[in-house]
Amino acid sequence: MGFPEGFLWGGATAANQCEGGYDEAGRGLANVDVMPHGPERLRVAAGLRKMLSFESGFHYPAKVAIDMYHRYRHDIALFGEMGFKTYRLSIAWTRIFPNGDEEEPNEEGLAFYEKLFVECHRHGIEPLVTITHFDCPIHLIRKYGGWRSRQLIDFYKRLVSVLFERYRGLVRYWLTFNEINMILQLPFMGAGLVFDESENKLEAEARSIHNELVASAWATRIAHEVDSKNLVGCMIAAGSYYPYSCHPEDVRAAQVESQANYFFTDVQARGSYPAFAVKRLERDGIDVGMTDEDHQILAENTADFVSFSYYASRCAAGPDSDAMRIPGDFFGEVRNPYLKRSEWGWAIDPLGLRITLNDLYDRYQKPLFIVENGLGAKDRIEADGSILDDYRIDYLRQHIQAMRDAIDQDGVDLMGYTTWAPIDLISASTGEMSKRYGFIYVDRDDDGEGTLARSRKKSFEWYKRVIATNGEDLS
């Protein structure tokens, strides 16, 4: 009973949210660098405001982030101290190919990650590498229009071939695209898309999605060719949709929303477009540019495991429902009246994690991996310097309990759990530092002030004990 032996406990970060060093060692500029802190950020991320370079009057948090580029040894040592079995991180594409379309990679960028992976192994930590976590080289956006161009499939293939060859023996767990379904909400962040007034937005999105899905299948194939020990996962922002009530219109609304999300993993884990998606594209008169070769590549190279982030369940209601709607909410627009919410308005629903695990396992029957889960909260430093983050411990405890139930009682095959994020870093949605997730506090504020010094929060010792007891001791 309990967590299986070898369960991969750890934490997850993304390059642009922690590395900094944005112009060091030949690194090129990416979409994620030019996303400012503050209210404009979401408009840029959604492709509604074009920002392809630094503009005056804005603070760009990714430039320095938490400076992990220079401090990774120290940070990985702290992860080692907590007993991490795995550390999920992402490669910055522009460290390896600064423009994205070069023939030859940037050796300095490759050497950086090699040192980082060696450091992980020194602490007994297995790296879990996201190949792209919301990043796309600016040059590829300017010259090719981001992922709407099929040429990006080739550039991505070149990138992954270099990574798999170079890190053979150092990395065996890979994720192709972080939260691939977020392209629907954040097309600039997800695919480097900025829309022209005259453009068919739906078509540009559908083509970009298709290109990423094909690129993902190619990556899976190349990974297996280079080393049969490689395991490649797909990754979505998950959280099951609940109908607001048992009114059939609400149930149908939840189904439609779920399908829009599952679509991505359906293709990546099963190898073909599901019938509802084919019909939807037909209805909208959209041609994604599928070739015979695409069909074959998708069918023959499905993901080895299905990974996902879970922060909250979502709720859906039919058009005539009296449900309370929240315009622009990240996780669906209908408020679930039964759930409490975080300081940032994200619903808190540990049982929803068990439901989501069951839904995904029922649908795919592939090993699952929770690669993000956590609570963004403001932390207070006590007079003696300590941070008593019991709210974070409570959140994680309940979610870990829910996943234990899913394993023990429902038989879900779960490979591991990496919290978002083991160390405070830049928020993807807001660019804030004050939305903190870490077991490790970083002295930096929303305006980029602070010493960047690290310190352990109360949750640090707690998570260490959870890992040491393989999830037995959650007290």
Instruction: Please report whether residue 436 would count as binding ligand BGP according to CB under 6 A.
Output: no
d(CA 276, CA 263): 9
Active site residue 249: no
Query: Of 42-50, 158-166, 246-254, 422-430, which part binds ligand BGP (CB under 6 A)?
Result: 422-430
Query: Of 72-80, 245-253, 425-433, 451-459, which part binds ligand BGP (CB under 6 A)?
Result: 425-433
Instruction: Please report whether residue 376 would count as binding ligand BGP according to CB under 6 A.
Output: yes
The one-letter amino acid at 239? G
Instruction: Please report whether residue 427 would count as binding ligand BGP according to CB under 6 A.
Output: yes
Query: Of 26-34, 111-119, 204-212, 424-432, which part binds ligand BGP (CB under 6 A)?
Result: 424-432
- Among residues 179, 257, 372, 432, the one annotated as catalytic is 372
* Tokens at 399, concatenated: 């979610």
Instruction: Please report whether residue 236 would count as binding ligand BGP according to CB under 6 A.
Output: no
Q: Count the Cβ atoms, other than its own, within 10 Å of residue 327.
A: 5
Nearest to 177 by CA among 268, 49, 58, 272: 268
Q: Which of 92, 428, 442, 466 binds ligand BGP (CB under 6 A)?
A: 428
Instruction: Please report whether residue 422 would count as binding ligand BGP according to CB under 6 A.
Output: no
Which of residues 152 and 189 has its CB atom nearest to ligand BGP in the complex? 189
Q: Which of 128, 193, 237, 312 binds ligand BGP (CB under 6 A)?
A: 237
From the CB of 179, what's the least distance to ligand BGP, in Å? 5
Among positions 272-301, residues that touch ligand BGP (CB under 6 A) are none
From the CB of 435, what's the least distance to ligand BGP, in Å? 5
Which of residues 186 and 232 has its CB atom nearest to ligand BGP in the complex? 186
Q: Which of 435, 436, 444, 457 binds ligand BGP (CB under 6 A)?
A: 435
Q: Is 286 exposed, middle or buried (0-12, 13-18, 19+ CB in 10 A)?
A: middle
Which of residues 178 and 313 has its CB atom nearest to ligand BGP in the complex? 178
Give residue 270's region: left, alpha or beta (phi > 0; psi -120 to 50): alpha
Secondary structure class of 330 (helix, strand, coil): coil
d(CA 457, CA 444): 15
d(CA 443, CA 439): 13
DSSP 417: E
Those residues whose C-beta lies under 8 Å from the C-beta of residue 449, and which sit 6 or more positions away, are none
Which of residues 30 and 281 has its CB atom nearest to ligand BGP in the complex? 30
From the CB of 17, what's the least distance to ligand BGP, in Å? 6
The two counts, helices (H) then strands (E), for the chain are 15, 14
Among positions 15-74, residues that touch ligand BGP (CB under 6 A) are 17
Nearest to 84 by CA among 427, 405, 439, 435: 439
Among positions 72-91, residues that touch ligand BGP (CB under 6 A) are none
Nearest to 363 by CA among 306, 294, 314: 306
From the CB of 205, what's the least distance to ligand BGP, in Å? 18
Nearest to 155 by CA among 220, 101, 216: 101
Secondary structure class of 93 (helix, strand, coil): helix
**Residue with structure tokens 């940070």?**
75
Q: How far is CA 226 from CA 113, 166, 319, in A?
A: 19, 10, 50
Which of residues 226 and 377 has its CB atom nearest to ligand BGP in the complex? 377
Instruction: Please report whether residue 178 would count as binding ligand BGP according to CB under 6 A.
Output: yes
Instruction: Please report whether residue 429 would count as binding ligand BGP according to CB under 6 A.
Output: yes
Instruction: Please report whether residue 309 would count as binding ligand BGP according to CB under 6 A.
Output: yes
Q: Count the Cβ atoms, other than its own, within 10 Å of residue 104.
A: 8
* Tokens at 60, concatenated: 């760009």
Q: Phi and psi of 175, rounded to 5°? A: -120, 135
Instruction: Please report whether residue 179 would count as binding ligand BGP according to CB under 6 A.
Output: yes
Instruction: Please report whether residue 369 would count as binding ligand BGP according to CB under 6 A.
Output: no
d(CA 118, CA 80): 13
Q: Which of 97, 242, 244, 420 binds ligand BGP (CB under 6 A)?
A: 420
From the CB of 414, what's the least distance to ligand BGP, in Å? 19
Which of residues 51 and 428 has its CB atom nearest to ligand BGP in the complex? 428
Active site residues per annotation: 372
Instruction: Note the residues at the interface with ligand BGP (CB under 6 A).
Output: 14, 17, 178-179, 237, 309, 372, 376, 420, 427-429, 435
